[in-house]
Amino acid sequence: MSSSAVVTQNEWFKVIQCCLENCDFEVINNKIKPLGYGAGFFGEHRLAEISVRLRDINKTQRVLHFFIKTQPQKLLEQREIVEQTRMFKKEVDALSKLFVLLRSVLNDKGKGMQWTCKCFYTNSQVIVLEDITMQGFQTIDGRINIEYHHCAAVIKAIANLHAASLIFEETHPNQPHRLGNEYPDILEECLFKHAPNHPGTEWLKTTIECLWRVVQEILGDRADLRTKALLENALQSLFELVKPSEKFRNTVCHGDLWRNNIFFRGDENKVEARLVDFQFIRYSPPANDIVCFLHLTTSRSFRKEYTSALLSCYYDHLSRTLLRYGISPDYVLPRQELEESCEFYRKLGVVVAPCYLTVVALNEEDIERMFASSAEFERFVKRDRTPEVMHSFKCDSYYRERVTESVQELLEECVLKS
């Protein structure tokens, strides 16, 4: 699939018509620019600039900007993983079906209730979104500490998504109604899925091996076979922790809240956040998103100081939103349940952090090696990523500090005290 063929002429007409809410125009020019591999691990990304002329009395010209995401084309192994896990289809269906449904019940009371950007077009191979960088939204450099006001903005965006899920369920004519039952294909877990030959199972095996090497670096002679067995048990608990809960209320959750999937606009006086990349969307308790976001983006000392305040921020925002629709937060998600679930799922955050950080915090050189060929990608994901992990661990002080802190917390909370 060449850059020019990513979106056909007829598809561009639909995109532009949706964007302008006007079908009387002509395209003057279009430019499509590919983005680097670091932008996404399981998709190819492009930016598009489309110049159009309206057929109005002034012949008004507009320049429109879009973000294009496609299934992987260059690396066969990468594409096979995406197809086997159905992650691209999940995101297409989330954007084109589920989110449309959620927004349909929000009406005027939901104005300003944003959690993601506008989606203008999808098919089985392509997603076309608004390019929110043109509105001032940007990601934060992964090596810059995220501040409290940024966290509060993300927490509110997460609360908006969760609230939309609860509002849809609570206002449905058939009660009780649960989105997990209505849309199992969209909300089924696709990454941490324990099944023979499933990419998620193979990825976790590879993760265990590279983390074991890091543990050996940290513990030295204290890293024995019992420690490795306990490490494996802790990581394999992910398969259960991401499932819908039978005890706590579930909502639609993003499921993949690391730095590249969060955009910010504004300063410390007023910050907005938008969430992108819903290929790991799942149905689980809100605590799932909250604890994973905090463990993937903040330090241990930051969480110790600010988690309580951020939980209050989340619950206050969620409560105000639900009350606008006549829904009692004490009924659908009592504050005590939120706190209990966050404590229960804290283990999820502790376990997920080192799994993610050993990959997403890699330096540019090691990431480029991963995408050098289909064989290299397959090795990295399914067989052995220890060379890249240990290279960054020994040569990159930022990587070493972030990974060491997350692994030490995993050891203290889930391994050494067992």
pTM, whole model, 2 decimals? 0.95
Residues of the chain with pLDDT under 70: 1-5, 36-40, 418
Q: What is the pLDDT of residue 1?
A: 37
- Quote the radius of gyration of the chain (alpha carbons, Å): 22
Contacts by 96-99 with C-beta closer than 8 Å and gap 24+?
A: 96/122, 97/183, 97/186, 98/179, 98/183, 98/186, 98/252, 98/281
Q: Which residues contact 316 (CB under 8 A, 6 or more apart)?
A: none
DSSP secondary structure letters along 338-353:
HHHHHHHTHHHHHHHH
Q: What is the pLDDT of residue 367?
A: 87
Contacts by 170-173 with C-beta closer than 8 Å and gap 24+?
A: 170/325, 170/327, 170/332, 171/105, 171/325, 171/327
What percent of the chain is predicted at pLDDT more than 90? 84
Q: What is the pLDDT of residue 36?
A: 67
**Structure token digits, residue 335:** 């504050």
- For the segment 202-216, what is each residue's pLDDT rounded down to a tens digit? 999 999 999 999 999
At residue 283, what is the residue type? Y
Q: Which residues contact 292 (CB under 8 A, 6 or more apart)?
A: 255, 257, 348, 349, 352
Q: What is the pLDDT of residue 40?
A: 66
